[in-house]
Structure 1
């Protein structure tokens, strides 16, 4: 007669096929035809393909052309996808400097970030910090080490493909061998430079009413400012101009139409070329940071 331990072992062996069958069925139902790691992330908006860095190359500039870098700040917000759709329809390139906290606060924020990130090379996702200084610029820039951590958090949370950033509420420039900034942000720009970041300011701004968030200049007035910046050589780099706008300015249909009109006016000039800021002259190679 078998002992109790022996009988217990036999019962477990008898049940083994049942457990195996159940395990196989569970695996099959959870991720049919997909590797385990792919099944866990399939369909999630923050899953990205490998960095496009391997495909990134500096461009050759045409001396007969003038380059325009249209940039949108503070997304994802109401208005971000309106900007995206206008630029897509008119076939122009643009750069979106996005805020990490906004991508979490907005219900479809992560999906918007994903859409911009995966639309490269027509659209570039760039870093506009995680908190956007929480509205207190002086305190934000006073603790420079904390500020760098804020940018790094945005870089990682949004999976920004390149080390390209813009400071909240401040126009500063960091390129290869160049650092230009106000005293308030000097230490921060030095640390960003040491960390490999490129930092972008701007020359032409489409101002907005801070109560209504609506554009101040008409499309023609802003286009005239761009023409004047080139004609008077009032650009950071000759024949290259960076235009600052904000996503929320274009959330109304009539203002979205103004953005389309502005771009259409510029496109009438055959010398004007729209580019993303990762192709601005003189930047450090935008090393990928996972």
Structure 2
């Protein structure tokens, strides 16, 4: 009996030891599994933290520990952002300026718009006949003061007498034209040949003095009624351009400041005309004395004073029958 009980106790002890061993193994497995899981979790957390750090460093180069490459990238992106903002501001400013200019142009066009047929250029061509003379220098002094150019139609005898004045006209940029030789209707208009002869003779004198010839001519008393079609054809075939005027100042008749008033009155009537404004004057003392008054009016009212050019289409009609 004692042997049986001892054996049973011995077997029970073995079973308890086996159970304890199994429990110990299970405990170790549980402990190891928990430790491994925590390690994985910690590693994952560190990787996530590291990833977030890298991203923050990329977009915020000021963070402590940011790499040199990340800092340069941030600076570059910031610079690009600033450049985009500046470019945007410049584009907006240019667009605003363009819009402003367009508006100002439209307003200006509306303000300065003139009726159909009006002389848009507002250009006046001042012309002086019968020179050169003792008042030529005075006339040119006034023109120089007002910074304008004019056209002088000269007679051959006067050119030979006042050669210095002819040279000054050329030197200061005025246009020089021919007015013939005799200033006598019975002589110059005797035939179409005599008209051409007087102009050629005057041109030779001009060339002798200045070394230049001219194609601009104005016949004494104007083209009507003396310059008949065959006469006009004759001078044109010789290469001359025949000029008359559209405003007769009548300074040759008034011989006073009244010629200025007369010129202004005719000028106002031509505001809506399209033909060139060519004012006829003469080299007279009275004309010189009141010339500043006429130029003041023209300047004040926006007229530009120019010389006649060879390339222009000539004015070959008259306003008044009475002339030089």
Q: Do the structures match in fold with TM over 0.5?
A: yes
User: Aligned residue for 1:282?
Assistant: 313
Once the 2 structures are TM-superposed, how far is the Cα of residue 183 of structure 1 from its aligned partner?
A: 5.4
> CA, structure 1 residues 240+279, in 2 after alignment: closer, same or farther (shift >3 Å)?
farther
Once the 2 structures are TM-superposed, how far is the Cα of residue 152 of structure 1 from its aligned partner?
A: 0.5
- List aligned pairs for 1:88-167, cutoff 5 A: 88-104=144-160, 106=161, 109-120=162-173, 123-133=174-184, 137-159=185-207, 160-167=212-219
Alignment gaps of 5+ in structure 1:
1-62, 173-180, 284-290
Give the Cα separation in 1 of the matches to 2:310 and 2:203.
Answer: 19
> CA, structure 1 residues 90+149, in 2 after alignment: closer, same or farther (shift >3 Å)?
same
Does the 8 Å CA contact 2:187/2:194 hold for their aligned counterparts?
A: no
* 1:188 corresponds to 2:219: no
Secondary structure of the residue aligned to 1:129 is coil
Give the Cα separation in 2 of the matches to 1:169 and 1:188.
Answer: 15
After superposition, what is the alpha-carbon deviation per residue over 1:212-236, rounded to whole angstroms, capped at 9, x for unaligned? x7236252442232121233x2xxx
Secondary structure of the residue aligned to 1:93 is coil
User: Aligned residue for 1:71?
Assistant: 127
Secondary structure of the residue aligned to 1:277 is coil
Does the 8 Å CA contact 1:230/1:239 hold for their aligned counterparts?
A: no
User: Aligned residue for 2:15?
Assistant: none
Please say which structure displays the higher CA radius of gyration. Answer: 2
Give 4+ residue runs of structure 1 displaced > 6 Å after superposition. none
Once the 2 structures are TM-superposed, how far is the Cα of residue 141 of structure 1 from its aligned partner?
A: 0.7
Once the 2 structures are TM-superposed, how far is the Cα of residue 138 of structure 1 from its aligned partner?
A: 3.2
Secondary structure of the residue aligned to 1:264 is helix
Q: Which has the bigger relative contact order, CA under 8 A and spacing at least 6?
A: 1
Once the 2 structures are TM-superposed, how far is the Cα of residue 263 of structure 1 from its aligned partner?
A: 0.8
> CA, structure 1 residues 70+197, in 2 after alignment: closer, same or farther (shift >3 Å)?
same
Does the 8 Å CA contact 1:97/1:166 hold for their aligned counterparts?
A: yes
Once the 2 structures are TM-superposed, how far is the Cα of residue 79 of structure 1 from its aligned partner?
A: 1.7
Secondary structure of the residue aligned to 1:243 is strand
**Higher helix residue share:** 2
- List aligned pairs for 1:1-290, cutoff 5 A: 64-104=120-160, 106=161, 109-120=162-173, 123-133=174-184, 137-159=185-207, 160-170=212-222, 172=223, 181-182=224-225, 184-208=227-251, 214-215=255-256, 217-231=258-272, 233=273, 238-248=274-284, 251=285, 255-270=287-302, 272-278=303-309, 281-282=312-313
> CA, structure 1 residues 95+230, in 2 after alignment: closer, same or farther (shift >3 Å)?
same
Q: TM-score, normalised by structure 2?
A: 0.54
> CA, structure 1 residues 282+131, in 2 after alignment: closer, same or farther (shift >3 Å)?
same
After superposition, what is the alpha-carbon deviation per residue over 1:166-189, rounded to whole angstroms, capped at 9, x for unaligned? 00112x3xxxxxxxx535543322
Q: TM-score, normalised by structure 1?
A: 0.60
**Higher strand residue share:** 1
* Root mean square deviation, CA, Å: 2.6
Alignment gaps of 5+ in structure 2:
1-118, 315-324
> CA, structure 1 residues 189+239, in 2 after alignment: closer, same or farther (shift >3 Å)?
closer
